[in-house]
Amino acid sequence: MSGFTRDTKRYGDRLVYEALGSKWGRYHGKHCGCGLNWVTAHAEPAGFTVVRQGNGWVALVGPGLTEGVDESTLTTNALWEAITGDPGAQDWYETVRITDRSEAAETTRKAEHDAYWAERRERAEAAKKSPATEAQLKYLNTLVSRVGRERFDAEYNKTVKGTDIAARDANERTQQALRRLTKAAARKLITALAGP
């Protein structure tokens, strides 16, 4: 999201404006349309400086935007004018998003991050053990009739190789083989069979 930001880790004690490339690129395309890069063709010549950039965003500082401004009345009018050629008409004020980098905040952030990944891992583990769902079995039945027995057997055995699931026995009925699949294996087999 675009916005005025303070983040000591990223920007020191500077106030920056984080501009989303898609949003400002759209403004530029609509109002200027010169086809050049809005940052290098307009923002920088107008006196703004890129202090950091990432995937799809740039953090800018500059006159009228983050410098020489009253922080209680922040607008993007200066940048708007540089990019579009028209005076900015933003008559509402933006707040500053402050990222707390204190040790306590960082600890909380890390704990949330770890918990998120632990849950993801747990779900993946559970999927490895839990049986295929009825919906998966139904779809697999459709796929079996579409691809034929030979391809199905080949993909089945490829899917279960290296897992606790045994390869298909020549005498085993298709339904029995399908019932032995776990949710994770069924997902993998579906991907293999539904593909080209």
Cβ closest to Zn ion, residue 12 vs residue 85: 85
User: Cβ 90 to Zn ion, closest distance in Å?
Assistant: 19
Question: Interface residues with Zn ion (CB under 5 A)?
Answer: 32, 34
d(Cα 180, Cα 166) in Å, to the nearest integer?
9
Burial string for 132-164 (b: 16+ CB within 10 Å, else e) reads beeebeebbeebbeeeeeeebbebbeebbeeee
**C-beta of 28: minimal distance to Zn ion in Å?**
6
Question: Containing H/E element for 5?
Answer: strand 3-7
**What are the residues whose beta carbons fall under 8 Å from the beta carbon of 109, sequence distance 6 or more?**
none
Closer CB to Zn ion, 35 or 148, in the complex: 35
CB of 83 to Zn ion, least distance (A): 7
Taking the complex as a whole, how short is the minimal distance between the CB of residue 39 and Zn ion, in angstroms? 11
Closest-CA residue to 43 (of 96, 93, 27): 27
For residues 3 and 97, the answer to whether their CB atoms sit within 8 Å is: yes
By beta-carbon proximity to Zn ion, the closer residue of 30 and 161 is 30
| Residue closer to Zn ion (CB basis): 32 or 143 | 32
